[in-house]
Amino acid sequence: MDEYKIAREKMVARLRDHYKISDPRVLEVMATVPRHLFVPEALKFQAYRDNALPISSNQTISQPYIVAKMTELLELTPSSKVLEIGAGSGYQSIILARLARAVYAIERLPVLAEVAKARMSEFAIKNVTIQQGDGSNGWEIYAPYDAILVAAGSPTVPKPLLEQLKTGGRLVIPIGDDPKTQVLFRIVKEENGYRSEDHGNCSFVPLIGEHGWKNS
Ligand code: SAM
């Protein structure tokens, strides 16, 4: 048994009882992925707390609730093909990998892209492909996707992501005029347009790129 198993179980109980995450597959996968191995050594003891934590390059690993909520909203099945924008530490990528058939992940910062790739090898994850680049353009060659998760806040919904979604597909993305605060939206592509749902306030680092915030 790893020394963080009890902390991880408490985190999952909080996700279920307080945050009302109800998809048993999401709760199960959150109970198995060792989040403490994705944060800096000095912050390991905080890994299962109810908040985001800094990783390298001034970026963050998202709050467990946000990871679970976004994953639940994607409604993944074992045949889903997923695009993830902002791989960061690789934690969310592994959660997605365990619930979907294939995950294509883009990370803007080269250092983090390398770290995330190394994590996939460490965990023997074979169904995640990670590339360094600007994810606000999506990843055309693997499109269309059943689900797209954007783990960084954007001023508007990047058009390429809408275009790369299958009919019936779900895009989960934080949108806000302020680079630090957003509203979490789920956008569902329907036969005749898009349906969008508001899932509450959130706070992400900015999506920097052609269809996000400009790097100043
Ligand atoms: N989900 C990640 C995890 O589990 O560690 C955390 C993601 S962190 C909140 C957001 C990430 O988005 C950062 O690593 C940042 O470098 C990245 N990012 C920002 N703009 C991006 C872009 N245009 N394309 C790809 N990644 C981007």
- Report percent pLDDT > 90 for the chain: 96
Domain ranges of the chain: 63-202
Q: Is the CB of 115 under 6 A from ligand 1?
A: no
107-145 pLDDT, tens digit per residue, is: 999 999 999 999 999 999 999 999 999 999 999 999 999
Q: CB within 8 A of 214, min separation 6: which ones?
A: 208
* 13-52 residue pLDDT tens: 999 999 999 999 999 999 999 999 999 999 999 999 999 9
135-to-101, 113, 138, 208 alpha-carbon distances in Å = 20, 12, 5, 9
Q: Is 113 in the pocket of ligand 1 (CB under 6 A)?
A: no
Do residues 173 and 187 make contact, with C-beta atoms less than 8 angstroms apart? yes
Q: Whose CA is nearest to atom 20 of ligand 1?
A: 207
The band of 2, judged by pLDDT with boundaries at 50, 70 and 90, is confident
Pocket test for ligand 1, best of 108, 114, 125, 214 (most atoms within 8 A of CB): 108
**Region 63-202: CATH code:** 3.40.50.150
Counting from 1 in the atom list of ligand 1, the atom nearest the Cα of 52 is 9
So what's the pLDDT on residue 68? 98
